[in-house]
Amino acid sequence: MIDYSQKIPNNVNLAGDRTLQRALEQWQPNYLSWWKEMGPEGSQAFDVYLRTAVSVEPSGWAHFDYVKMPDYRWGIFLTPAIGERKIHFGEHLGEDAWQDVPGEHRANLRRIIVTQGDTEPASVEQQRHLGLTAPSLYDLRNLFQVNVEEGRHLWAMVYLLHRHFGRDGREEAEALLQRRSGDRDNPRILGAFNEKTPDWLSFFMFTYFTDRDGKFQLCALAESGFDPLARTTKFMLTEEAHHMFVGESGVARILQRTAETMKALATDDPAKLRAAGVIDLPTIQRYLNFHFSVTIDLFGADQSSNAATFYSAGLKGRFEEGKRADDHRLHGLTYPVLEVADGKLVERAVPMLNALNEVLRDDYIKDSVAGVARWNRVLEKAGVETRLAVPHKAFNRRIGTLANTRVAPDGRVVSDAEWAAHEREWLATPEDRAFVASLMGRVTGRGQFAHWIAPPAAGINKQPVDFEYVRFG
Ligand SMILES: [Fe+2]
Ligand SMILES: [Fe+2]
């Protein structure tokens, strides 16, 4: 169980380690200053119907009540240790999982934890203005739920830094509160986390695609031979599922409203649909293309010696490592990566150990495509013929072999001229963004929804859709 009697709720017996407890209690006010400065704008005094973790058991860990966000009980929760856990991949396969950081892997583990940790406050910063334009109380509450949980994910990584990395860990924990998403001088570490999330279509695409990157990174870390990291990330995954639900259902509800309007007006003309106050499908597709391509860059270069090192050292596994039938060392195996030859994309087999970023990216793509098929079912049910699709994985890439190649969404390598001629059909334009922004405006009445989005099928925690999810006080 989680001990809520303490300043920092936890299930890691923080009270038994006074030095660590004091260090974290010193970090806490800095975290709260960061939250007040960079957390949800103008919303700190609202009473929000939030869930808080009360137990780390898989069932019934969530407790719902009204909370003001700065009073949220951010804490440190690890899934319980499972007996004598063994390292199950890499060169240490079969050895006992580490409870402390092995000296030789210290720098790499710190880098992995800092990189993961940096994404958590980044997304809160990216989303901080969205509360001002929420399409309903239901959506406003979901946004805040995602925000407080990303805050807790930061706590999760900071705990590992403080507990296992001494002075450099404490310095890294401070730096996590110093960097700012999109800042020119001190940006967040990864590209997608420096992009803007200016409107709710972006927010839903972000939570669908980019939080799903979070899921895959966390799944890979949940396999780690460093047991505290595995147990921390496993618990974070319980929270991540809701973030992806927010994105998937948010886009589905937008599609539903658009499709209904297309049928009612018997048109697919974007101008007419925009005039009717809904988001046309080509615009939704362009947003999708942007968020998908920016997100798959997060997996890193297609060939990476770091990825090989992280795996062989037992620090970061593959998605569902335990369910795979190979030898979990991967010597002598190959994996196809893309490159350009004679003006076309071709596959080339490279050592699998070096291609593990690509392996994870491909697992991620499979998972994202499944949800896009569910979005298409919304269109199909409504009798609309257009379908959404994820672009080719070589489209609009900034990282890896494909970074300097122009590739159309259908996978054709194109010239700079062709790219320039079509970019506005492929990626959200400033005009698209301005149109979507023009629809945004805070809807605060109970059970009311902005015109451009359908209400959800059900409320949160079995509450009705018109429940008072946020009280403005
Ligand atoms: Fe997170
Ligand atoms: Fe998330």
- Which single residue is written with the structure tokens 């966000």? 69
Question: How far does residue 144's CA lie from ligand 1's centre (Å)?
Answer: 13
Nearest 5°: the CA angle 127, 428, 39 is 5
Ion ligand 2 neighbours (CB, 5 A) are 211, 214, 240, 243
Give the other-Cβ count within 10 Å of 148's Cβ. 24
Nearest 5°: the CA angle 51, 53, 54 is 115
pLDDT of amino acid 58: 65
What is the b/e burial string over 455-468, where b = at least 16 CB atoms within 10 angstroms of the residue's CB? bbeebbeeeebbbe
**How far, CA to CA in Å, does 176 sit from each of 15, 156, 200, 471?**
24, 12, 26, 31
Question: How far does residue 124's CA lie from ligand 1's centre (Å)?
Answer: 10
Question: How far does residue 155's CA lie from ligand 2's centre (Å)?
Answer: 13
The burial of 32, by beta-carbon neighbours within 10 Å (0-12 exposed, 13-18 middle, 19 or more buried), is given as: middle
Question: How far does residue 215's CA lie from ligand 1's centre (Å)?
Answer: 8
Question: How far does residue 143's CA lie from ligand 2's centre (Å)?
Answer: 11
Torsions phi, psi for 115 (to 5 deg): -65, -45
* Whole-number Å distance between alpha carbons of 301 and 224: 21
pLDDT of amino acid 5: 80
Question: How far does residue 116's CA lie from ligand 2's centre (Å)?
Answer: 11
Question: How far does residue 420's CA lie from ligand 2's centre (Å)?
Answer: 34
* Whole-number Å distance between alpha carbons of 23 and 399: 37
Q: Which residues contact 173 (CB under 8 A, 6 or more apart)?
A: 27, 158, 161, 162
Ligand nearest to the CA of 242: 2
> 228 with 317: CB under 8 angstroms?
no
Grouped pLDDT means (10 residues each) for the chain, 473 residues: 82 92 95 97 95 76 90 90 92 97 97 97 98 98 98 97 96 98 97 94 98 97 97 92 96 98 98 98 98 97 97 98 96 97 96 98 98 98 97 97 95 97 98 98 96 97 97 90
Tokens of 471: 């009280």
Give the closest residue to 357 by CA, choosing from 307, 306, 289.
Answer: 307
What order of strands is seen across the sheet that includes strand 470-471?
Answer: 62-68, 47-53, 470-471
Pairing of strands 47-53, 334-341: unpaired
Question: How far does residue 260's CA lie from ligand 1's centre (Å)?
Answer: 34
pTM of the model: 0.97
Ligand nearest to the CA of 151: 1
Question: How far does residue 203's CA lie from ligand 2's centre (Å)?
Answer: 12
**How far, CA to CA in Å, does 389 sit from each of 171, 205, 257, 422, 453?**
43, 13, 19, 17, 20
Question: How far does residue 149's CA lie from ligand 1's centre (Å)?
Answer: 7
103: left (phi over 0), alpha (psi -120 to 50) or beta: alpha
Question: How far does residue 104's CA lie from ligand 2's centre (Å)?
Answer: 31
Largest CA distance in the chain: 68
pLDDT of amino acid 70: 94
* Whole-number Å distance between alpha carbons of 175 and 170: 9
Tokens of 373: 């098929």
Question: How far does residue 425's CA lie from ligand 1's centre (Å)?
Answer: 32
